[in-house]
Amino acid sequence: MYGKKGKELIQEFAESEPGQLAAFNTDLVTQVLEECNSHFLHLNSLVRKMNAKTPAESSGANRPTQNDPHSNNESPDNSEPPEADGSTNTELPKDDNYHGLLIHHQSLTRNKRCLMAYVYNRAEVVRKLGWTLERVLPEEIEEKLSTSEKEYFKNHAATIQSYMSALDLDLGVDMVPPKDPYIKVRVLDDIGNVVLSDQLANLARHAILFIRRTDAEQYISQGLMEELTS
C-alpha cells in the first residue's frame, strides 16, 4: 500500500519518549526514498502517455455517435444552432491515466512530507542536545544519529560555544538563578585530579564534594556526577 512506509517512520518517532531518539532508521528511510523514485517514474510515464494522445483520442468520451440525437452539433428540435463561443475545454481527460497520475502524485507528496517531518523533528531533538551536552556526545546517543545529524550537532554546538565565548557568558547554566553557587555532588566514575575554578580536586568514584555549580554542570550532563539535593 502506498504511503505505508512513510507512516511507519512517523509512528516510530511519535512512539519515542519526549526528548529521546531511537536509532536513525536508515533502512526504512531508504525504502521510502525508493518508493518516491518509483512514483516519480510512474508520473513521468503517465504524463508522456497523456501528452502523446491526439486531440481526438483525448475527447473520445465526448465524441457524438450516429445514434446520438445531438450528433452533428444539432439541437434536439433542429431549431437552435449550437453555441459557438470559441471556448476550448483544456481539462485533462479523466481516464485511467488521469486517475493514476493523481494517485502517484499524492503518494509522492505524502512520502515527502513524512520524510521531512521525520528528519525535522529528529533535528529539533539534536539541536536541544547542543545546549545540554556542549561538544561531547555520549556514545549511547551518538550511535543513534545519522552522519548528517552528527555533523549538525557538531556545527550547532560549535556555534553556541562561539557565541558564549564572545559574550563571556555561560548560557547553559540554569535559567533560574540558584540560591547557592555551590552544590553537593557525588562522583559516579573515576575522573581523577582536575583543576576547578577555585580549587584542585580529586574526583574519585563515590566521592562527595561541594563544588561550584558551573564546574559540576559538564560532569553532570555527561553522567559522571549527580547532584545531591538532601
**Structure confidence by residue, pLDDT tens digits, 146-173:** 999 999 998 888 888 888 888 777 776 6
CATH topology of domain 4-64+93-166: Methane Monooxygenase Hydroxylase; Chain G, domain 1 (1.20.58)
Average pLDDT over residues 75-92: 45
The mean-pLDDT minimum among 19-28, 77-86, 103-112, 190-199 falls in 77-86
Which of these, 14, 42, 7, 5, lies nearest to 122 by C-alpha position?
Answer: 14
Q: What is the pLDDT of residues 198-217, one digit of tens each?
A: 888 889 999 999 998 888 88
What percent of the chain is modeled with pLDDT above 90?
A: 14
CA distance linking residue 133 with residue 150, whole number of Å: 13
Average pLDDT for residues 73-80, to the nearest whole number?
A: 43
67 or 98, greater pLDDT: 98
> What pLDDT sits at residue 158?
86
| 185 confidence band (pLDDT: 50, 70, 90) | very high
* pLDDT classification of 92: cutoffs 50, 70, 90: low
What's the mean per-residue pLDDT of the chain?
77
Residue 72 has pLDDT above 60, yes or no: no
- Hey, what's the cell of 26? 536508515
- The runs of H, that is alpha helices, within the chain are 4-14, 26-52, 55-58, 96-132, 139-142, 147-167, 213-221
pLDDT at 106 over 80: yes
**CA distance to 44, 66, 73, 87, per residue, from 70 (Å):** 37, 9, 6, 19
Cα gap 194→208, rounded to integer Å: 15
